[in-house]
Chain A
Amino acid sequence: KNQVEQSPQSLIILEGKNCTLQCNYTVSPFSNLRWYKQDTGRGPVSLTIMTFSENTKSNGRYTATLDADTKQSSLHITASQLSDSASYICVVPKSGAGSYQLTFGKGTKLSVIP
């Protein structure tokens, strides 16, 4: 069964601190992995898309890493800001005949406090 597991479920950090969010997936074969940011009351917005050949990809203060061998990805946020408070969702395409569809993780809810 295609699954995407994220940890932690929620996280509270002080403004200016760094944090790392985790994603484990079981989809095989693997083609790409996406991280989305979802502000409260808004739709998800793409942060990055990584293919199986990419180990690291950055988007400003966001850096995603991927280990296709262990089927793990992480999203590192540097020098957090209050505006980083959101849910971060890990997404992987379903395998096989379901390659037109995505499997979404439940997300990690990040709260950045002053």
Chain B
Amino acid sequence: IAGITQAPTSQILAAGRRMTLRCTQDMRHNAMYWYRQDLGLGLRLIHYSNTAGTTGKGEVPDGYSVSRANTDDFPLTLASAVPSQTSVYFCASAKEGRVTSYNEQFFGPGTRLTVL
């Protein structure tokens, strides 16, 4: 079934530990995104990639890094987790990077991360 998968579904992590959230899409979309969703706030963009081999910073990039070695995968790494990174993380993809078109973003199921 075509779509976006994320792993793990949920994770409890000790502060200071390194963690990588995985995201894979099989729709051959060029653009991929990482968002975080916190209670009372709208989704906020962490990092994005408009095409394989390129990445960019979003609204809240500090403490996170990404890579885009190929079209399908877009992992998000927390080098040294802190409690403020407790959140639900969503990966998304789209045919192209520009959002000023009929270019729809498709979201994964999310990863619930708790940093203690």
- B43 lies within 8 A of A99 (CB): no
> A42 to B44, alpha carbons, bound, how many Å?
16
- Min CB–CB distance B107 → chain A (angstroms): 3
Indicate whether B108 reaches chain A with its CB closer than 8 angstroms.
yes
- A46 lies within 8 A of B105 (CB): yes
What is B's interface to A at a CB cutoff of 8 Å?
A: 4, 40-45, 48, 50, 56, 58-59, 90, 92, 97-102, 104-110
Given contacts A31-B101, A51-B102, A102-B45, list 19 more A-B pairs with CB under 8 A.
Answer: A4-B42, A32-B100, A42-B110, A43-B90, A43-B107, A44-B90, A44-B107, A46-B105, A46-B106, A49-B102, A89-B42, A94-B99, A99-B98, A101-B99, A102-B43, A103-B42, A104-B42, A106-B41, A107-B42
> A51 to B99, alpha carbons, bound, how many Å?
12
- A49 lies within 8 A of B104 (CB): yes
Main DSSP-derived SS at the B contact region: loop
Q: Which residue of B lies closest to A99 (CB)?
A: B100
- Min CB–CB distance A87 → chain B (angstroms): 10
- A101 lies within 8 A of B107 (CB): no
Interfacial residues of chain A within 61-114, with CB under 8 A of chain B in the complex: 89, 93-94, 99-107
- Min CB–CB distance A69 → chain B (angstroms): 19
> A106 to B38, alpha carbons, bound, how many Å?
10
> A89 to B43, alpha carbons, bound, how many Å?
9
Q: Which 4 A-B pairs give the minimum distances between C-beta atoms?
A: A43-B107, A104-B42, A93-B99, A31-B100
- A43 lies within 8 A of B109 (CB): yes
- Min CB–CB distance B26 → chain A (angstroms): 16
7 A–B contacts, CB within 8 A, in A order: A34-B104, A43-B108, A99-B98, A100-B56, A102-B45, A102-B99, A104-B44
> A32 to B105, alpha carbons, bound, how many Å?
13
